[in-house]
Amino acid sequence: MSKLSSLFRVMMAYLHVWIVISSSLLVCASPWIFMGRRIPDNAGFWDYLHVYLGFACAVLGILFLLSNTLHGKWHQYFGWLAGDWAQLKQDMLGLTKGKFPVAGGKGLFSAIEGIGMLLLVATGITGVAWLLFQGTPTAMAWRGYHQIFAQAFIGFLIVHLVLAASHILDFIRQ
């Protein structure tokens, strides 16, 4: 049991890395797959990689969301849901004055990260729903939802990369 718990601790410590690797592979490989109502009979490596890696990424995304929001930590990413707008408002007003938001806390960067976690989970859940309903007329609807959330998640990834790069540049300047 201790080996299993230590494996779980290591996995949780590198959860962000695993999500980056798996979601990057999924996004980069997605133009080479086409699945409609079900996995095609002539499905190839990329099709199966997308299905199984996507399932794994959905599980990792849920674990990531839980690990970042349990025990009151959700306030950092979703404090605005509880009416805590102070730092988010300060960051947005600062942007209008050319000031760069600070990373961490309950500000703009954290709110964007929270939205990104929700998009990752929504992409994973809609993909798993498509897998469960494949071969039925409902599968096409889930595929459509999956594509919408995946495109939104790709948009988030671009914003996240720009913010991370700007944060690193800001850190280097100091």
> What digits encode the pLDDT tens for the residues 39-78?
988 999 999 999 999 999 999 999 999 999 998 889 999 9
pLDDT in tens, 84-101: 899 999 999 998 988 888
Query: Does residue 121 have a pLDDT over 70?
Result: yes
Mean pLDDT of the region 106-126: 96
- Spell out the domain ranges in the chain: 2-173
Rounded to two decimals, the pTM is 0.90
In the chain, pLDDT over 70 holds for what percent of residues?
A: 99
Burial bucket for residue 79 (CB in 10 Å: 0-12, 13-18, 19+):
buried
Using CA atoms, how far residue 36 sits from 33, 109, 133, in Å, is: 10, 36, 11
